[in-house]
A and B are shown apart, each in its own frame.
Chain A
Amino acid sequence: MHDDILVTSGLSRHFGGVRAVNEVTFSVPKGQLRAIIGPNGAGKTTLFNLLSGQLHSHSGHIYFKGKEITGRSPSYLCRHGLGRTFQVNSVFLNFTVLENVQLANMAHQGKTWNFWSPARKVLVEESKAILEMVGLADQADKLGSALSHGDRRRLEIALTLACKPELLLLDEPTCGMSLSEKPHLVKLIQNIVREKGITAVLIEHDMDVVFSVADRITVMHRGAILAEGSLREIQANPKVQEVYLGEDYRAPV
């Protein structure tokens, strides 16, 4: 319990009569790369919205680093080490790539309350280092709106990294990426998580991605947790096969 960076208990959220997230109790140990899978409408993104403070829960509790964070605002959580990326790209389109990361860096370090020094000179090296890490260093001067879809996904991750997260919520990071781009991004995520000792929770539809990066898998179905376990356990679980995986992913021999 002490090693769990994220814990929820009885977390629920409904929209009208639909129980989007229903009594979800789960925990993620520090340093793990957890994947959350489940069919469309299973409540994965709603769960993320609750965890990251974008939505208020109707009941239940969320604990982060041992402290209750239920009902905290996104900006508070971000400043305290909980970062997230979005399923649909959400970067600053009228900022250059460097300015995007600079802003996130400044905000995280509380420097956005500086009214006087020129912003273009603030935290340039730190921001360039992050661009280097995600492979966008050569595009630092491009506007966010001029980036390809795949590069925006990278920038999305860079923005989150600038907030020095201890827990990273990645909402379908490879969504909409071409088949050739996907493996690079997956490797990037893996490297970052391992090198920096970040805990990551990943929503993903691409099973190849899930099976290649995740330490452990949680399966959601109709707002609730259906199963949780190692890759093998999930592959072998008949309930999971029934709702989700289909014939293709039966455990190999």
Chain B
Amino acid sequence: MSQAGASRSAIIGTIVGLIVLILILVALPVIAPHIVLIDATDTLIFVLLALSLNLLVGYAGMLSLGHAAFFATGGYCAGILVKHLGVAMPLAFVASPLLAALASLIIGFFSVRLSHSYFLMLSLAFGQLLFTVVWKWRDLTGGDDGLTGIMPAPALVAPWAYYYFTLGVVLVCAIILYRIGQSPFGRALKAIKDNPRRSDFVGINVRHYQLAAFVLAGAFAGVAGALQVFFHRGIFPGSAHWITSADTFVAVVLGGAGYFTGPIIGTVVFKTLGFVIPRITEYWLFFLGVAIMIVALVRPKGLMSLWRTGRTKNA
């Protein structure tokens, strides 16, 4: 009985916390200086990327090191449509997740498999393959000069306007991803992570579910990519590089892959360290590394486990 009471107060606490957080996010353009607004927009985009990756890492137990491929596919798709074909931003924005989903369907078809290490290597290899294509195909992508001058719709040009646009898109996507995680499909993914053989023997075709998760995650990464290209007014091959995948991966694990909110916390901490430390020292990567090592040693389940420990132990 007391446990039900405790979980109810925890739910109320979570809801209150969410409302406060959303209020702060909505008020941010008013209360925060310009530079913070820019950093916040950037962070929100990476929150979406991390949340989409966590569908694979946290739910399905698929360790992907090639997630940036779909982020870049989304970004380049919107960028190329706008730059080369003169397509309007809204249409380009919608096309991005679709092309990213198609790319993840094709890559997923070849790389999704039961063995963790093979999937990891294949996702990395396909990601780098895409990076190379982006790097070399100058006519289409601009090569290492990138694709620049990609303007958002006129109404979204002001930083505060683009911030609200990003906030809205990321919130909607986060809600959808949360619902997917809680749905029977999300359960099936967790079951596959927990015990793939048993999953098969209760009637779950493991490969089909893994592929579906891969496509979904790719589509949401594509949304993040589209947000990114109009935010930066351009895109560069670095967005497809495996370092981008690894950064996202670190953010997910730092916050805690086992929690829906883990990637959010992880990205905020990762990005904040990335914004703050370089202003103090040029060796910021060293300090970031130390911070990650401390978390890995002290809190292997991520930062989120700091205040969720009590509850998981009760369960």
Contact = CB atoms under 8 A, between A and B. Distances in A.
Nearest to A110: B203
B183 A119 contact: yes
Which of B180, B190, B191 has the most chain A CB atoms inside 10 A of its CB? B191
Given A91-B195, A92-B191, A103-B191, A115 B183 contact: yes
Contacts of A111: 184
Contacts of B191: 92, 95, 103
The prevalent SS among residues of B at the interface is: helix
Interface residues of A, number: 40
Contact of A162 (B184, B197, B199, B202): B202
A93 B194 contact: yes
A159 B188 CA distance: 14
B190 to A, nearest CB: 7
A78 interface: yes
Nearest to B209: A112
B315 interface: yes
A159 B185 contact: no
A24 B107 CA distance: 42
Interface in A67-83: 73-76, 78-79, 83
Interface string B10-51: 000000000000000000000000000000000000000000
A41 B315 CA distance: 41
Given A91-B195, A95-B194, A103-B191, A114 B185 contact: yes
Given A52-B201, A74-B201, A114 B183 contact: yes
B99 interface: no
Given A92-B191, A95-B194, A107-B188, A116 B183 contact: yes
B202 A159 contact: yes
Interface string A103-131: 11011100111111111101000000000
Contacts of B186: 115, 119
Given A75-B206, A90-B195, A94-B194, A112 B187 contact: yes
Contact of A118 (B182, B190, B206): B182
Contacts of B183: 114-119
Nearest to A104: B202
Contacts of B180: 115-116
B195 A92 contact: yes
A69 to B, nearest CB: 14
Contacts of A75: 199-201, 203-206
Contact of B202 (A103, A113, A118): A103
Contact of B179 (A74, A79, A96, A115): A115
Contacts of B197: 90
Nearest to A90: B198
A132 B185 CA distance: 26
Given A75-B205, A107-B202, A93 B195 contact: yes
Contacts of B190: 94-95
Interface string B155-189: 00000000000000000000000011011111110
A92 B198 contact: yes
Contacts of B188: 103, 106-107, 112
B198 A91 contact: yes
A66 B208 CA distance: 28
B198 A119 contact: no
15 contacts: A75-B201, A76-B205, A78-B200, A78-B202, A93-B194, A94-B194, A95-B194, A96-B315, A102-B187, A107-B188, A107-B202, A115-B183, A118-B182, A120-B182, A143-B315
Interface of B: 179-180, 182-188, 190-191, 194-195, 197-206, 209, 315
Given A106-B188, A115-B183, A119-B183, 14 more contacts: A75-B200, A78-B201, A79-B203, A92-B191, A94-B190, A102-B187, A104-B202, A104-B203, A108-B202, A117-B184, A119-B182, A159-B198, A159-B202, A160-B201
Interface of A: 52, 73-76, 78-79, 83-84, 86, 90-96, 99, 102-104, 106-108, 111-120, 122, 143, 159-160, 162-163
Q: Which 8 A-B pairs have the closest CB atoms?
A: A78-B203, A104-B202, A112-B188, A107-B203, A75-B205, A79-B203, A119-B187, A74-B200
